[in-house]
């Protein structure tokens, strides 16, 4: 018997596009002599559909699309993910289902039991959890069909407060009693650079525990801020990785059941370091955000600093240099080398750029506000005025040329509020808002791995907002190596200050940083969507009250 794994890039609500993708893969699998092709979780509507699931017309389109795809399934079966209506009188109105299609109809369905409500997930908002489990006999092989979390009931958590076992029910334990021959898991699992190995180990441990091969199919591509890495995996009954599909690429591959069990062909070497995966993820997120929203071009405020340089390189990779432009906006405080470095980078990437000096509008603001500010010292107010002038100029070019402003703030800055609302925090999409400053430097090294694309001077010089004379980030912040370690422990690991201090961090620094994080929540509420590459990004995955006192 032959199985085909279809790792595809779906578009939420694009039923025609998703159907065409799926049917093309079915035809390819059929030509390869496959008996069963497996797609990912909620592939019919695209993941995550969120509150579109509350609309009856949306669910009806899902059902209609399933029926259309079923017509393609003659001489081959397919497993697709779709919402289905709960026909019982009690419970939520929908199930998150895996549907087995064959000879023009649905011949079996398995509903998701474990509905995650942590991080970016809120599936219990829409779906009723399944409580009954059964395998399905297909061509003499017993299939245990599970959906994402149903196989992840013992997943590890970064947060030490979490239990090892998150759920009280184990669907696979129930299915194992029916002696399945293979475990099939369809998933829509977003990328997180810190979870790659842990995710792979889930499937390996299940294969070892039950002595059954595992096929897990994940989607790739991006939808809004969520980026899906693909990396679908096939594990034999010994827990050895038989094969893994590529990261951040579509792929359709076929295997025989006998080969999966014996592991008789070599697995593909897909091991790669986290920074190269982060780079691929951000390029994927940017490209799909523009492609799927119908946007074409972008603009970046290019300062001569490392953050805007990284964003420009990512945008060129994702969109092509013909769809990226830069605006240089020097002030009286901008160093000559910053302007030269920015021009050098734009020229090397062949990106169109303009230079608009902000001295005149800044002086006009100073003069007009002088009577209001009479007798008061210069402070952060004047710094913020410069940042907001730049935002106005960027938005003016955006309006005139129809190019979207890409925000260039990094996660370290966003965490501690080192940015100006309606100024350098403006933009339609935050490119590196989930990348700590120390990883920004690692990204620069990756981009320059073969030749100098980002001028070395941009990488070497001390970070500065250049909003006052001789200003450096370390005037207001700890060194980024220290800061990022505290941020990671407080944000991703959710450790309290006392624990971070007990593990060796300097007390006053920790307390200062945490005060800054908590105080600046109001700024992050008004920030653009952030491309997510970690286990705890700002946005939907981290919900904090604005008026809390804790």
543-to-29, 119, 522, 529 alpha-carbon distances in Å: 43, 9, 12, 14
Cα angle vertex 438, ends 343, 527, to 5°?
Answer: 75
Q: Looking at 43, 148, 311, 403, which residue is catalytic?
A: 148
405 vs 394: CA distance, rounded Å: 7
Calculated CA dihedral for residues 5, 7, 13, 14, nearest 10 degrees? -100
The shares of helix, strand and coil residues in the chain, as percent rounded to the nearest 5, are 40, 20, 40
Cα angle vertex 481, ends 460, 466, to 5°?
Answer: 50
Q: Is 112 a catalytic residue?
A: yes
DSSP three-state, residue 331: coil
288 vs 88: CA distance, rounded Å: 38
- Per DSSP, helices labelled H in 113-195 are 171-176
Of the candidates 250, 305, 352, which has an alpha carbon nearest to the alpha carbon of residue 466? 305
Q: Looking at 112, 206, 411, 437, which residue is catalytic?
A: 112
63-to-5, 15, 81 alpha-carbon distances in Å: 23, 10, 11
Q: Which residue has the tokens 């710094």?
A: 383
Helix (H) or strand (E) holding 27, with range, is helix 15-31
Q: Looking at 2, 19, 30, 41, which residue is catalytic?
A: 41
Q: Do 431 and 283 touch, CB atoms closer than 8 A?
A: no
DSSP three-state, residue 9: strand
236-to-38, 210, 287, 514 alpha-carbon distances in Å: 17, 11, 35, 46
- Per DSSP, helices labelled H in 247-325 are 257-262, 274-293, 306-319
Q: Do 141 and 1 touch, CB atoms closer than 8 A?
A: yes
Q: Do 465 and 473 touch, CB atoms closer than 8 A?
A: yes
Ramachandran class of 341: left when φ > 0, alpha when ψ lies in -120 to 50, beta otherwise: alpha
Q: Is 43 a catalytic residue?
A: no
Q: Is 311 a catalytic residue?
A: no
Count other Cβ atoms within 10 Å, centred on residue 74: 12
Count other Cβ atoms within 10 Å, centred on residue 14: 14
Of the candidates 136, 174, 167, 140, which has an alpha carbon nearest to the alpha carbon of residue 152? 167
Query: Does the bond joining 48 to the residue before it have cis omega, within 30 degrees of 0?
Result: yes
Q: Which residue has the tokens 């035809």?
A: 27
330 vs 336: CA distance, rounded Å: 9
468-to-360, 382, 390, 464 alpha-carbon distances in Å: 16, 9, 15, 10
Q: Could you list the active site residues?
A: 41, 112, 148
């Amino acid at each position: 018997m032959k199985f085909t794994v279809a790792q595809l890039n779906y578009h939420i609500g694009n039923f025609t596009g998703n159907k065409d993708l799926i049917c093309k893969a079915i035809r390819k699998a059929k030509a390869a002599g496959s008996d069963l092709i497996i797609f990912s979780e909620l592939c019919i509507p695209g993941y995550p559909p969120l509150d579109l699931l509350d609309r009856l017309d949306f669910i009806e389109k899902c059902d209609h699309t399933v029926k259309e795809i079923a017509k393609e399934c003659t001489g081959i079966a397919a497993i697709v993910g779709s919402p289905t209506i709960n026909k019982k009188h009690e419970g939520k109105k929908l199930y998150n289902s895996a549907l087995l299609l064959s000879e023009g109809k649905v011949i079996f369905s398995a509903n998701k039991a474990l509905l995650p409500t942590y991080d970016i997930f809120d599936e219990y908002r829409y779906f009723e959890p399944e409580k009954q489990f059964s395998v399905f006999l297909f061509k003499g092989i017993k299939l245990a069909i599970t959906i994402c979390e149903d196989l992840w009931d013992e997943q590890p958590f970064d947060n030490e407060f979490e239990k090892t076992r998150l759920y009280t029910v184990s669907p696979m334990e129930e299915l194992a009693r029916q002696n399945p021959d293979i475990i099939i898991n369809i998933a829509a699992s977003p990328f997180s650079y810190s979870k790659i190995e842990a995710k792979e180990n889930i499937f390996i441990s299940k294969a070892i525990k039950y002595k059954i091969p595992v096929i897990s199919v994940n989607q790739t591509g991006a939808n809004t801020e969520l980026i899906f890495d693909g990396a679908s995996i096939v594990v034999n009954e010994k827990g050895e990785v038989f094969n893994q599909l590529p990261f951040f690429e579509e792929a359709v591959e076929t295997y025989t059941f006998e080969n999966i069990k014996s592991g008789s062909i070599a697995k593909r070497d897909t091991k790669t370091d986290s920074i190269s995966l982060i780079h691929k993820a951000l390029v994927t997120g940017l490209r799909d955000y523009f492609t799927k929203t119908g946007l074409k071009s972008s603009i970046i405020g290019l300062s001569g600093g490392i953050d805007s340089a990284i964003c420009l390189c990512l945008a060129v990779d994702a969109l092509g240099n013909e769809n990226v432009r830069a605006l240089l906006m020097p002030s009286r405080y901008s160093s000559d080398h910053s302007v030269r470095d920015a021009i050098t980078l734009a020229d090397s990437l062949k990106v169109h750029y303009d230079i608009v000096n902000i001295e005149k509008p800044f002086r006009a603001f100073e003069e007009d506000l002088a009577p209001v500010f009479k007798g008061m010292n210069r402070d952060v107010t004047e710094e913020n005025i410069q940042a907001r002038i730049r935002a106005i100029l960027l938005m003016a070019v955006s309006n005139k040329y129809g190019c979207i402003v890409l925000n260039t703030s990094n996660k370290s800055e966003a965490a501690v509020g080192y940015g100006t609302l309606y100024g350098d925090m403006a933009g339609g999409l935050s490119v590196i808002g989930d990348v700590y400053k120390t990883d920004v430097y690692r990204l620069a090294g990756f981009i320059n791995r073969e030749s100098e694309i980002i001028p070395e001077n941009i990488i070497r010089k001390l970070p500065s907002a250049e909003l006052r004379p001789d200003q450096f980030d370390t005037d207001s912040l700890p060194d980024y190596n220290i800061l990022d370690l505290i941020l990671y422990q407080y944000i991703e690991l959710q450790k309290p200050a006392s624990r971070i201090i007990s593990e060796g961090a300097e007390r006053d620094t920790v307390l200062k940083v945490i005060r800054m994080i908590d105080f600046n929540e109001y700024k992050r509420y008004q920030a653009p969507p952030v491309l997510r590459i970690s286990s705890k990004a700002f946005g939907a995955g981290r919900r904090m009250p604005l008026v809390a006192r804790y």
